[in-house]
A = this chain, B = another copy of it.
Amino acid sequence: MNKKQTLQLRKQYIGPSLSLSYQEPLKIVRGFMQYLYDEKGKKYLDARNNVPHIGHCHPKVNKTAHQQMCVLNTNTRYLHDNLVLYAQRLCDKMPEPLKVCYIVNSGSEANDLALRLAWTYTKEKDVIVVDHAYHGNLSSLIHISPYKFDGKGGTGAPPYVHKVPIPDGYRGKFKYRNSQAGQKYASQIKDVLRGLKNNGKGLAAFISESIMGCAGQIVFPENYLMHAYQYVRETGGICIADEVQVGFGRMGSHFWGFETQNVVPDIVSLGKPIGNGFPLAAVVTRPEIAHSFDNGMEYFNTFGGNPVSCAVGLAVLDVIEEEGLMENARTTGAYLKDKLEQLQNKYPVIGDVRGKGLFLGIELVSDQRKLTPAAKLTAQIVEKMKEEGILIGADGPFQNVLKIKPPLVFNKDNADLFVSKLEKILEDLTNSVD
Protein backbone atom coordinates (compact mmCIF):
# COMPACT_ATOMS: atom_id res chain seq x y z
CA MET A 1 0.00 0.00 0.00
CA ASN A 2 1.17 3.50 -0.62
CA LYS A 3 1.17 6.02 2.19
CA LYS A 4 -2.09 7.61 1.09
CA GLN A 5 -3.89 4.26 1.20
CA THR A 6 -2.50 3.46 4.64
CA LEU A 7 -3.63 6.86 5.88
CA GLN A 8 -7.07 6.40 4.36
CA LEU A 9 -7.56 3.00 6.04
CA ARG A 10 -6.31 4.43 9.33
CA LYS A 11 -8.90 7.21 9.15
CA GLN A 12 -11.56 4.64 8.41
CA TYR A 13 -10.78 1.94 10.95
CA ILE A 14 -8.74 3.40 13.82
CA GLY A 15 -10.27 5.39 16.68
CA PRO A 16 -9.74 9.07 15.79
CA SER A 17 -8.42 10.04 19.24
CA LEU A 18 -5.03 8.62 18.26
CA SER A 19 -3.11 11.27 16.36
CA LEU A 20 -0.08 10.87 14.12
CA SER A 21 3.24 12.61 14.66
CA TYR A 22 4.21 15.39 12.24
CA GLN A 23 2.18 17.55 9.86
CA GLU A 24 3.06 15.17 7.05
CA PRO A 25 2.94 11.80 8.84
CA LEU A 26 5.76 9.33 8.46
CA LYS A 27 5.30 5.81 7.23
CA ILE A 28 8.04 3.90 9.01
CA VAL A 29 8.76 0.43 7.64
CA ARG A 30 12.09 -0.56 9.22
CA GLY A 31 14.07 0.04 12.36
CA PHE A 32 17.51 -0.92 13.55
CA MET A 33 19.25 0.35 16.66
CA GLN A 34 18.87 4.16 16.83
CA TYR A 35 17.60 4.43 13.26
CA LEU A 36 14.21 4.25 11.58
CA TYR A 37 13.55 4.09 7.84
CA ASP A 38 10.53 5.27 5.90
CA GLU A 39 8.87 3.61 2.91
CA LYS A 40 11.20 5.43 0.53
CA GLY A 41 14.31 4.29 2.38
CA LYS A 42 14.99 7.64 4.05
CA LYS A 43 16.91 7.15 7.28
CA TYR A 44 15.97 8.91 10.52
CA LEU A 45 17.94 9.21 13.71
CA ASP A 46 15.43 8.33 16.46
CA ALA A 47 15.99 10.71 19.36
CA ARG A 48 12.41 10.64 20.63
CA ASN A 49 11.54 7.08 21.50
CA ASN A 50 12.61 5.64 24.86
CA VAL A 51 10.78 2.33 24.31
CA PRO A 52 13.35 0.65 21.98
CA HIS A 53 15.74 1.10 24.88
CA ILE A 54 18.59 -1.12 23.71
CA GLY A 55 18.00 -0.27 20.04
CA HIS A 56 15.21 -1.03 17.58
CA CYS A 57 14.99 -4.72 16.66
CA HIS A 58 17.87 -5.79 18.88
CA PRO A 59 18.87 -9.29 17.65
CA LYS A 60 19.33 -10.73 21.13
CA VAL A 61 15.79 -9.83 22.20
CA ASN A 62 14.32 -11.11 18.95
CA LYS A 63 16.19 -14.40 19.14
CA THR A 64 15.28 -14.92 22.78
CA ALA A 65 11.61 -14.14 22.19
CA HIS A 66 11.43 -16.43 19.20
CA GLN A 67 13.14 -19.33 20.96
CA GLN A 68 10.80 -19.10 23.94
CA MET A 69 7.73 -18.68 21.72
CA CYS A 70 8.66 -21.94 20.01
CA VAL A 71 8.97 -23.81 23.31
CA LEU A 72 6.21 -22.52 25.59
CA ASN A 73 4.03 -19.50 26.19
CA THR A 74 1.47 -20.00 28.91
CA ASN A 75 0.14 -18.31 32.03
CA THR A 76 1.47 -18.02 35.57
CA ARG A 77 -0.81 -20.64 37.10
CA TYR A 78 2.02 -23.12 36.53
CA LEU A 79 5.60 -22.89 37.75
CA HIS A 80 8.12 -21.58 35.23
CA ASP A 81 11.75 -20.63 35.72
CA ASN A 82 11.59 -17.51 33.53
CA LEU A 83 9.03 -15.85 35.79
CA VAL A 84 10.94 -16.38 39.01
CA LEU A 85 14.37 -15.67 37.51
CA TYR A 86 13.12 -12.46 36.00
CA ALA A 87 11.41 -11.35 39.22
CA GLN A 88 14.59 -12.14 41.13
CA ARG A 89 16.72 -10.24 38.62
CA LEU A 90 14.46 -7.17 38.76
CA CYS A 91 14.41 -7.26 42.56
CA ASP A 92 18.20 -7.57 42.63
CA LYS A 93 18.28 -4.24 40.79
CA MET A 94 16.17 -2.63 43.52
CA PRO A 95 17.27 -1.46 46.96
CA GLU A 96 15.92 -3.10 50.08
CA PRO A 97 13.06 -3.56 50.94
CA LEU A 98 11.71 -3.55 47.34
CA LYS A 99 11.76 -7.30 46.86
CA VAL A 100 8.32 -8.45 45.62
CA CYS A 101 7.28 -8.34 41.98
CA TYR A 102 4.14 -8.34 39.85
CA ILE A 103 4.60 -8.73 36.10
CA VAL A 104 2.01 -7.07 33.88
CA ASN A 105 1.65 -5.93 30.26
CA SER A 106 1.95 -2.14 30.21
CA GLY A 107 3.05 0.81 32.28
CA SER A 108 -0.63 1.69 32.63
CA GLU A 109 -1.42 -1.72 34.09
CA ALA A 110 1.55 -1.24 36.42
CA ASN A 111 0.39 2.14 37.69
CA ASP A 112 -3.17 0.92 38.17
CA LEU A 113 -1.86 -2.00 40.22
CA ALA A 114 0.35 0.40 42.20
CA LEU A 115 -2.78 2.36 43.11
CA ARG A 116 -4.64 -0.80 44.05
CA LEU A 117 -1.75 -1.82 46.32
CA ALA A 118 -1.69 1.63 47.93
CA TRP A 119 -5.45 1.73 48.44
CA THR A 120 -5.53 -1.74 49.95
CA TYR A 121 -2.52 -1.25 52.19
CA THR A 122 -3.44 2.17 53.58
CA LYS A 123 -7.22 1.73 53.52
CA GLU A 124 -7.28 5.33 52.31
CA LYS A 125 -8.30 6.72 48.92
CA ASP A 126 -6.68 10.15 48.50
CA VAL A 127 -3.73 10.62 46.19
CA ILE A 128 -1.29 13.48 45.74
CA VAL A 129 0.05 14.05 42.23
CA VAL A 130 2.41 16.54 40.68
CA ASP A 131 0.87 19.04 38.29
CA HIS A 132 1.03 18.12 34.60
CA ALA A 133 2.04 14.54 35.41
CA TYR A 134 0.96 11.71 33.13
CA HIS A 135 0.63 8.20 34.57
CA GLY A 136 -1.24 6.27 31.89
CA ASN A 137 -4.31 5.79 29.70
CA LEU A 138 -6.62 3.81 32.01
CA SER A 139 -9.63 5.44 33.65
CA SER A 140 -8.00 5.26 37.09
CA LEU A 141 -4.86 6.91 35.70
CA ILE A 142 -6.61 9.69 33.82
CA HIS A 143 -7.97 10.54 37.28
CA ILE A 144 -4.46 11.02 38.68
CA SER A 145 -2.94 12.64 35.57
CA PRO A 146 -3.30 16.44 35.50
CA TYR A 147 -1.80 16.30 31.98
CA LYS A 148 -5.06 14.60 31.01
CA PHE A 149 -7.76 15.72 33.45
CA ASP A 150 -6.78 19.40 33.06
CA GLY A 151 -6.17 19.06 29.33
CA LYS A 152 -8.54 19.01 26.37
CA GLY A 153 -11.52 16.74 26.97
CA GLY A 154 -10.65 16.51 30.67
CA THR A 155 -13.08 17.08 33.50
CA GLY A 156 -10.69 18.20 36.25
CA ALA A 157 -9.40 16.38 39.32
CA PRO A 158 -11.73 14.00 41.14
CA PRO A 159 -12.31 14.90 44.82
CA TYR A 160 -9.71 12.40 46.06
CA VAL A 161 -6.88 13.70 43.88
CA HIS A 162 -4.74 16.65 44.96
CA LYS A 163 -2.24 18.47 42.82
CA VAL A 164 1.03 20.03 43.93
CA PRO A 165 2.98 22.41 41.69
CA ILE A 166 5.73 21.13 39.41
CA PRO A 167 9.02 21.50 41.31
CA ASP A 168 10.50 23.35 38.36
CA GLY A 169 13.70 25.27 39.10
CA TYR A 170 13.45 27.14 35.81
CA ARG A 171 9.85 28.28 35.61
CA GLY A 172 8.43 27.52 39.07
CA LYS A 173 8.25 29.57 42.26
CA PHE A 174 11.64 28.45 43.60
CA LYS A 175 14.54 28.73 41.16
CA TYR A 176 17.66 26.68 40.50
CA ARG A 177 19.73 29.22 42.42
CA ASN A 178 17.64 28.63 45.55
CA SER A 179 19.53 25.93 47.45
CA GLN A 180 16.41 25.24 49.53
CA ALA A 181 14.13 24.79 46.50
CA GLY A 182 13.71 21.04 47.03
CA GLN A 183 12.51 21.47 50.58
CA LYS A 184 10.33 24.43 49.69
CA TYR A 185 8.54 22.58 46.89
CA ALA A 186 8.13 19.58 49.18
CA SER A 187 6.52 21.79 51.80
CA GLN A 188 3.70 22.41 49.29
CA ILE A 189 2.91 18.73 49.79
CA LYS A 190 2.86 19.38 53.53
CA ASP A 191 0.21 22.04 52.92
CA VAL A 192 -1.99 19.53 51.09
CA LEU A 193 -1.51 17.00 53.88
CA ARG A 194 -2.54 19.60 56.44
CA GLY A 195 -5.68 20.30 54.42
CA LEU A 196 -6.52 16.61 54.28
CA LYS A 197 -6.02 16.24 58.02
CA ASN A 198 -8.29 19.22 58.66
CA ASN A 199 -10.95 17.46 56.61
CA GLY A 200 -10.48 14.26 58.59
CA LYS A 201 -8.92 12.46 55.67
CA GLY A 202 -5.84 10.30 55.36
CA LEU A 203 -3.58 9.78 52.38
CA ALA A 204 -3.19 6.62 50.30
CA ALA A 205 -0.27 7.66 48.12
CA PHE A 206 1.97 10.27 46.65
CA ILE A 207 2.84 9.28 43.10
CA SER A 208 5.50 10.93 41.02
CA GLU A 209 7.73 10.24 38.05
CA SER A 210 11.35 10.38 39.13
CA ILE A 211 12.06 12.87 36.36
CA MET A 212 8.88 14.26 34.82
CA GLY A 213 8.31 13.54 31.12
CA CYS A 214 5.13 15.16 29.79
CA ALA A 215 5.66 18.07 32.21
CA GLY A 216 8.76 18.93 30.17
CA GLN A 217 11.74 16.83 31.30
CA ILE A 218 11.70 18.30 34.80
CA VAL A 219 14.63 17.34 37.04
CA PHE A 220 13.60 17.77 40.65
CA PRO A 221 15.71 20.05 42.82
CA GLU A 222 17.97 18.28 45.28
CA ASN A 223 16.17 16.70 48.25
CA TYR A 224 12.69 17.22 46.80
CA LEU A 225 11.65 13.58 46.96
CA MET A 226 13.49 13.05 50.26
CA HIS A 227 11.40 15.67 52.01
CA ALA A 228 8.26 14.76 50.07
CA TYR A 229 8.54 11.09 51.07
CA GLN A 230 9.19 12.06 54.69
CA TYR A 231 6.04 14.21 54.91
CA VAL A 232 3.93 11.61 53.11
CA ARG A 233 5.12 8.79 55.36
CA GLU A 234 4.49 10.82 58.50
CA THR A 235 0.79 10.73 57.59
CA GLY A 236 0.79 7.01 56.81
CA GLY A 237 0.73 7.47 53.04
CA ILE A 238 2.98 5.51 50.73
CA CYS A 239 5.31 6.73 48.01
CA ILE A 240 5.04 5.47 44.44
CA ALA A 241 7.85 6.11 41.97
CA ASP A 242 6.66 5.98 38.37
CA GLU A 243 9.78 4.85 36.52
CA VAL A 244 7.95 4.00 33.30
CA GLN A 245 9.79 6.70 31.31
CA VAL A 246 13.17 6.93 32.99
CA GLY A 247 14.15 3.57 34.45
CA PHE A 248 16.66 0.95 33.27
CA GLY A 249 19.83 3.00 33.17
CA ARG A 250 18.65 5.97 31.12
CA MET A 251 19.79 8.35 33.88
CA GLY A 252 23.39 7.27 33.29
CA SER A 253 24.47 7.80 36.89
CA HIS A 254 21.92 5.37 38.33
CA PHE A 255 19.80 2.47 37.14
CA TRP A 256 16.60 4.04 38.51
CA GLY A 257 15.48 7.65 38.48
CA PHE A 258 14.53 7.65 42.16
CA GLU A 259 18.14 6.85 43.07
CA THR A 260 19.19 10.25 41.71
CA GLN A 261 17.06 11.72 44.49
CA ASN A 262 18.51 9.41 47.09
CA VAL A 263 15.18 7.90 48.16
CA VAL A 264 13.63 4.44 48.37
CA PRO A 265 9.97 4.35 47.28
CA ASP A 266 7.37 1.93 48.67
CA ILE A 267 6.21 0.95 45.20
CA VAL A 268 7.98 1.28 41.85
CA SER A 269 6.17 0.96 38.53
CA LEU A 270 8.10 -0.02 35.40
CA GLY A 271 7.13 -0.05 31.74
CA LYS A 272 8.13 1.28 28.32
CA PRO A 273 11.85 0.31 27.99
CA ILE A 274 11.52 -2.87 30.09
CA GLY A 275 10.83 -5.14 27.08
CA ASN A 276 12.33 -2.99 24.29
CA GLY A 277 8.84 -2.72 22.76
CA PHE A 278 7.45 -6.11 23.76
CA PRO A 279 4.31 -5.53 25.90
CA LEU A 280 5.82 -5.96 29.34
CA ALA A 281 5.73 -3.99 32.59
CA ALA A 282 6.12 -4.59 36.30
CA VAL A 283 5.45 -3.40 39.80
CA VAL A 284 7.96 -3.89 42.59
CA THR A 285 7.05 -3.31 46.22
CA ARG A 286 7.82 -4.12 49.84
CA PRO A 287 6.78 -7.55 51.23
CA GLU A 288 4.56 -5.83 53.80
CA ILE A 289 2.49 -4.12 51.10
CA ALA A 290 2.37 -7.26 48.96
CA HIS A 291 1.07 -9.25 51.92
CA SER A 292 -1.64 -6.74 52.75
CA PHE A 293 -2.80 -7.09 49.12
CA ASP A 294 -3.05 -10.85 49.60
CA ASN A 295 -6.43 -10.44 51.27
CA GLY A 296 -8.19 -13.28 49.52
CA MET A 297 -8.71 -11.51 46.21
CA GLU A 298 -6.55 -13.07 43.51
CA TYR A 299 -4.47 -10.89 41.25
CA PHE A 300 -4.16 -12.85 38.04
CA ASN A 301 -3.00 -11.30 34.80
CA THR A 302 -3.68 -13.47 31.74
CA PHE A 303 -0.61 -12.50 29.72
CA GLY A 304 1.48 -10.94 32.48
CA GLY A 305 4.58 -12.87 33.49
CA ASN A 306 4.34 -15.45 30.72
CA PRO A 307 7.60 -17.23 29.78
CA VAL A 308 8.07 -15.17 26.60
CA SER A 309 7.62 -11.77 28.30
CA CYS A 310 10.02 -12.79 31.05
CA ALA A 311 12.59 -14.11 28.57
CA VAL A 312 12.43 -10.76 26.79
CA GLY A 313 12.82 -8.89 30.07
CA LEU A 314 15.86 -10.95 30.98
CA ALA A 315 17.43 -10.37 27.57
CA VAL A 316 16.96 -6.61 27.87
CA LEU A 317 18.72 -6.59 31.26
CA ASP A 318 21.52 -8.73 29.79
CA VAL A 319 22.05 -6.33 26.89
CA ILE A 320 22.05 -3.22 29.11
CA GLU A 321 24.89 -4.83 31.08
CA GLU A 322 26.78 -6.49 28.21
CA GLU A 323 26.79 -3.38 26.05
CA GLY A 324 27.42 -0.91 28.86
CA LEU A 325 24.34 1.09 27.94
CA MET A 326 23.96 2.84 31.28
CA GLU A 327 27.55 4.03 31.02
CA ASN A 328 26.83 5.18 27.47
CA ALA A 329 23.78 7.08 28.70
CA ARG A 330 26.07 8.79 31.22
CA THR A 331 28.91 9.72 28.88
CA THR A 332 26.96 10.39 25.68
CA GLY A 333 24.25 12.16 27.68
CA ALA A 334 26.85 14.41 29.34
CA TYR A 335 28.55 15.05 26.00
CA LEU A 336 25.27 16.00 24.35
CA LYS A 337 24.14 18.15 27.27
CA ASP A 338 27.45 20.00 27.25
CA LYS A 339 27.10 20.74 23.54
CA LEU A 340 23.52 21.92 24.04
CA GLU A 341 24.67 24.24 26.81
CA GLN A 342 27.23 25.70 24.42
CA LEU A 343 24.38 26.25 21.98
CA GLN A 344 22.41 27.93 24.75
CA ASN A 345 25.19 30.52 25.07
CA LYS A 346 24.80 31.39 21.41
CA TYR A 347 21.00 31.32 21.10
CA PRO A 348 19.01 33.24 23.71
CA VAL A 349 15.89 31.37 22.59
CA ILE A 350 17.27 28.38 24.51
CA GLY A 351 16.08 29.25 27.98
CA ASP A 352 17.07 26.04 29.71
CA VAL A 353 18.93 22.80 29.03
CA ARG A 354 18.20 20.12 31.59
CA GLY A 355 17.91 16.43 32.24
CA LYS A 356 20.09 13.49 33.16
CA GLY A 357 21.80 10.88 31.04
CA LEU A 358 19.88 10.38 27.82
CA PHE A 359 16.70 12.03 29.07
CA LEU A 360 17.19 15.69 28.19
CA GLY A 361 15.00 18.72 27.63
CA ILE A 362 15.55 22.02 25.86
CA GLU A 363 13.11 24.74 26.89
CA LEU A 364 12.61 27.46 24.31
CA VAL A 365 11.53 30.98 25.24
CA SER A 366 11.12 34.15 23.23
CA ASP A 367 12.04 36.30 26.23
CA GLN A 368 14.70 35.15 28.66
CA ARG A 369 13.39 37.23 31.55
CA LYS A 370 9.66 36.80 31.11
CA LEU A 371 10.20 33.13 30.12
CA THR A 372 7.63 33.57 27.34
CA PRO A 373 7.14 30.08 25.86
CA ALA A 374 8.23 29.80 22.22
CA ALA A 375 5.71 27.08 21.38
CA LYS A 376 5.40 27.88 17.69
CA LEU A 377 9.16 27.86 17.23
CA THR A 378 9.36 24.55 19.12
CA ALA A 379 6.85 22.96 16.76
CA GLN A 380 8.74 24.35 13.77
CA ILE A 381 12.01 22.87 15.04
CA VAL A 382 10.42 19.44 15.47
CA GLU A 383 9.23 19.56 11.85
CA LYS A 384 12.53 20.89 10.49
CA MET A 385 14.54 18.30 12.42
CA LYS A 386 12.40 15.63 10.82
CA GLU A 387 13.18 17.05 7.38
CA GLU A 388 16.83 16.85 8.35
CA GLY A 389 16.37 13.19 9.32
CA ILE A 390 16.16 13.52 13.10
CA LEU A 391 13.11 12.61 15.18
CA ILE A 392 12.50 14.51 18.41
CA GLY A 393 9.35 15.34 20.35
CA ALA A 394 7.98 18.41 22.10
CA ASP A 395 6.04 18.61 25.34
CA GLY A 396 5.58 20.53 28.56
CA PRO A 397 2.65 22.61 29.85
CA PHE A 398 3.38 25.18 27.13
CA GLN A 399 4.55 22.80 24.39
CA ASN A 400 7.88 24.57 24.31
CA VAL A 401 10.24 21.83 25.51
CA LEU A 402 12.18 19.70 23.03
CA LYS A 403 12.43 16.21 24.45
CA ILE A 404 15.45 14.02 23.80
CA LYS A 405 15.16 10.39 24.89
CA PRO A 406 16.76 8.14 22.27
CA PRO A 407 17.56 4.43 22.40
CA LEU A 408 20.57 4.07 24.70
CA VAL A 409 22.81 3.05 21.78
CA PHE A 410 22.80 6.72 20.74
CA ASN A 411 26.46 7.69 20.26
CA LYS A 412 28.65 10.79 20.14
CA ASP A 413 28.43 11.00 16.35
CA ASN A 414 24.67 11.02 16.70
CA ALA A 415 24.99 13.76 19.32
CA ASP A 416 27.23 15.82 17.01
CA LEU A 417 24.78 15.40 14.14
CA PHE A 418 21.87 16.30 16.40
CA VAL A 419 23.51 19.49 17.64
CA SER A 420 24.76 20.61 14.24
CA LYS A 421 21.33 20.15 12.66
CA LEU A 422 19.64 21.89 15.57
CA GLU A 423 22.07 24.79 15.31
CA LYS A 424 21.46 25.17 11.60
CA ILE A 425 17.71 25.20 12.14
CA LEU A 426 17.96 27.67 15.03
CA GLU A 427 20.14 29.88 12.85
CA ASP A 428 17.56 29.82 10.03
CA LEU A 429 14.45 30.16 12.16
CA THR A 430 15.63 32.75 14.66
CA ASN A 431 17.20 34.87 11.93
CA SER A 432 14.01 34.75 9.93
CA VAL A 433 12.09 35.85 13.03
CA ASP A 434 14.30 38.92 13.48
User: A residues within 8 Å of B by Cβ?
Assistant: 1, 3, 6-7, 9-10, 12-21, 25-31, 36, 49, 51-52, 56-57, 59, 61-62, 65-66, 69-81, 83-85, 87-88, 91, 99-102, 105-109, 112-113, 115-116, 119, 137-140, 142, 148, 151-154, 271-272, 277-280, 283, 285, 290-291, 293-306, 308-309
Contact = CB atoms under 8 A, between A and B. Distances in A.
Given A105-B105, A151-B296, A74 B13 contact: no
Nearest to A16: B294
A282 B294 CA distance: 30
Given A27-B78, A30-B72, A151-B296, 7 more contacts: A3-B79, A9-B88, A13-B91, A14-B84, A28-B72, A277-B306, A277-B308
B15 A84 contact: no
Contacts of A77: 19-21
A116 B83 CA distance: 32
A74 B36 contact: yes
A1 to B, nearest CB: 5
Given A7-B79, A57-B70, A65-B69, A294 B15 contact: yes
A85 to B, nearest CB: 7
Contacts of A76: 14, 18
A139 B151 contact: no
A79 B279 contact: no
A73 B88 contact: no
Given A31-B73, A72-B31, A72-B56, A13 B153 contact: no
Contact of A75 (B51, B107, B271, B294): B51
A56 B88 CA distance: 27
Given A21-B77, A137-B299, A16 B277 contact: no
A20 B59 CA distance: 33
Contacts of A107: 302
Contacts of A140: 112, 138-140
A67 to B, nearest CB: 9
A18 B300 contact: yes
Nearest to A90: B13
A14 B101 contact: yes
Indicate the member of A20, A151, A299 with the most B CB atoms within 10 Å: A299
A277 B106 contact: no
A38 to B, nearest CB: 8
Contact of A27 (B21, B79, B151): B79
Contacts of A14: 76, 83-84, 87, 100-102, 305
A87 B13 CA distance: 6
B79 A151 contact: no
A138 B153 contact: no
B84 A300 contact: no
B73 A57 contact: yes
13 contacts: A10-B87, A12-B99, A14-B101, A18-B299, A26-B78, A26-B79, A27-B79, A36-B78, A49-B75, A51-B302, A106-B302, A119-B139, A140-B140
Contacts of A69: 57, 61-62, 65-66
A9 B99 CA distance: 11
Given A69-B65, A72-B56, A112-B138, A15 B290 contact: yes
Nearest to A37: B72
Nearest to A9: B84
